[in-house]
Amino acid sequence: MEYTVYTAGPVEPVNYYPCFLEMVRNYLDGNMETTVYEEQLRDMFGIYAYVGFTMDKLIQNIVRQVWYTQYYYYHCH
């Protein structure tokens, strides 16, 4: 399977990964709306942007589980 990226956006393809990481940080910190995050990923990666959508959900679930584990450990023992 060959991945195709689009160059119509303001970010050059060689800078997609650093830009993606910055977008994930901003999204997880609450500095970026979900619709903006998904739209920018679609602009950069086209139909393959779903990987970024699922990655942010994975990170959110991991953070939530770690938080619950810590909360349970410190408050229920």
Give the pLDDT of residue 55: 79
Give the pLDDT of residue 1: 47
B/e letters for 57-66, b = 16+ CB within 10 Å, e = fewer, are eeeeeeeeee
Nearest Cα neighbor of 19 from 47, 40, 49, 50 is: 40
Give the pLDDT of residue 31: 93
Give the pLDDT of residue 77: 64
Residues of the chain with pLDDT below 50 are 1, 3, 5-7
Q: At what angle do helices 50-75 and 16-29 cross, to 10 degrees?
A: 40
